[in-house]
Homo-oligomer: A and B are copies of this chain.
């Protein structure tokens, strides 16, 4: 049984090739316009509209033009062929039409109510590209770049706070948005705007999790330009990077959470399954990402006798680095984990180990390559967001839902930042001041990740409503908050023009002077990081990089044959290469060597000048801390020196 309706369309192979070129050309044109605008803004020091806002604006205008200037080519679209004999949609469909066989490829399932939403404007359909492109092509370079360019010293100094904001904060934000939205949905059902069965509490939580991914790219760009206080920058950057990862995994876990019976009731089994899922996926992705980076580090470090070192071929080195990092993403995706999380930790690990092994040429090449890819991908995403407002065919604008979402997003941000800052300040030596908290509250922009998560599924009506709302929130926050960053900084009297290195010294000095009594009582809470740092420094760094002490000195004596095999010849040849190699510590001494005192908080390069040889990144790893505590290996006179101040 089949009902056929006529479907008019002109098509040939060549037409399709050209069509693809036209779409890409439109994007290129938008990007070129954006770049020219950035240039204009940079020369005139405009800060009221950031490049991302500009890209979005151009996208919007282009979307408007396409929507109204191009004519709908398929007159009778939205017709459905009914094939009741088929059980499911095949991946490829061969259709015989007037004795010619046409091949069709499965694209996706469509809800009945969306069928008429397809206007049949071929141009519009073409411009609305596959959401998987976001996740597989555009996001990975952005996230990798974030991990690769992480300023480790400042990041580790504030690690405790960053982890709190990222994990606890995102969970709070998700829950608060979910609850508020559930209230609004109930109200909407009450006044008859919505049917009860359409919107479950899990849907509200889903919306909460995707709206919890903050993306203060605009704010951070301005911070970077103005050299805003480093701690504030690091807190925001670290939070937003990790928070993306958390939000992505959280969204996935919530979408899996499916209580057996009543979808609105709480099902403990399903909840714990989702929670376990969250932890499993997060840990798995972390492991996948870091292991690829470790493999890269090992390959780039290899010093087999019959091989020229890889670093003599910068092109091969860069290629391998790029491909292995991308493979981390793809492997995680293929294994059902979260590629974005994997690629983030891959980036961090690459920067920590592999970067030290690369040739100077490759160091620059990889940095520039990922910087460039990040730049392009970011602008494409923001252009596309602008376009999507007009080219996406199934928008559902529900004023009450949108209003609710705005309220929810701000309340959630507030209940993330202020209570957590209060709690963190109880433990932090160097408090997060009020104006920093306000600035963090203000910087809760929503951007690429929220958009990408929302566009991933736009089949059902609740999801379409969410997508439309998410898009509007992105627009609003990027334009209003992004544009208001500079006035806000002035208004909150936040320091600008800060030199990161000077800043660290000054703060450490002032803080250790005023908090001498707390040093030893609080030092214990950093034990985890002390153990990790010791392990990393004594075993991982020597195995994976040319830096660090030779393994022969760090491993027990009976391991010497193995150690000698694994140690890079350069580790012996240049004992001063790493700042810490000139002094050997064993496990018992380790605790005494980690101290937070005014003396050691001065960056490592002041004591032994030779460590500059291993590059700036290496120096930055010299100190490592949790919250306000400085963990610093000392090496003043080649002898372990104990100066506990308590």
Contacts and interface: CB of A to CB of B under 8 A. Distances in A.
Given A9-B91, A21-B339, A35-B323, A104 B101 contact: no
Nearest to A31: B323
B108 A97 contact: no
A25 B327 contact: yes
Contacts of A132: 16-17, 20
Interface in A1-55: 2, 4, 6-11, 13-14, 16-18, 20-22, 24-25, 28-29, 31-32, 35-36, 38-40, 42-44
Copies of this chain, complex-wide, total 2
A9 B90 CA distance: 5
Interface residues of A, number: 104
A109 B102 contact: yes
A421 interface: no
Nearest to A97: B86
A89 interface: yes
Nearest to A373: B369
A110 B94 contact: yes
Q: By CB atoms of chain B within 10 A, which of A18, A21, A333 has the most? A: A21
A256 B79 CA distance: 35
A288 to B, nearest CB: 12
A125 B18 CA distance: 24
A368 B370 CA distance: 13
Nearest to A333: B21
A85 B327 contact: no
B103 A110 contact: yes
Interface in A323-371: 323-324, 326-327, 330-331, 333-334, 336, 339, 365, 368-369, 371
A307 interface: yes
Contact of A39 (B11, B307, B327): B307
A331 B24 CA distance: 9
B101 A112 contact: yes
A29 B320 CA distance: 10
A129 interface: no
Interface in A290-311: 299, 306-308, 310
Interface string A60-92: 000000000000001001111111111111111
A490 interface: no
Given A104-B104, A327-B29, A330-B24, A97 B83 contact: yes
A98 B86 contact: yes
Contact of A28 (B111, B327, B339): B327
Contacts of A36: 299, 320
A42 B136 contact: no
B316 A35 contact: yes
Contact of A319 (B104, B108, B372): B372
A101 B91 contact: no
A109 B100 contact: yes
A93 B90 CA distance: 13
A260 interface: no
Nearest to A93: B104
Contacts of A9: 88-91
A447 B232 CA distance: 55
Contacts of A397: none
Given A17-B135, A369-B372, A81 B93 contact: yes
Contacts of A80: 94-96, 101
Contacts of A93: 7, 81, 93, 95, 104
Nearest to A85: B4
A318 interface: yes
A322 B368 CA distance: 14
Nearest to A327: B28
B43 A108 contact: no
A105 interface: yes
A80 B96 CA distance: 6
A21 B288 CA distance: 14
Interface of A: 2, 4, 6-11, 13-14, 16-18, 20-22, 24-25, 28-29, 31-32, 35-36, 38-40, 42-44, 74, 77-98, 100-112, 114-115, 118, 122, 125, 132, 135-136, 299, 306-308, 310, 313, 315-316, 318-320, 322-324, 326-327, 330-331, 333-334, 336, 339, 365, 368-369, 371-372, 375-376, 457
- Top 9 nearest A-B pairs (CB, nearest first) are A89-B102, A21-B333, A104-B104, A7-B90, A82-B96, A43-B308, A86-B97, A25-B330, A4-B85
11 contacts: A4-B85, A7-B90, A16-B132, A17-B132, A18-B333, A21-B136, A21-B331, A28-B327, A43-B307, A44-B306, A81-B96
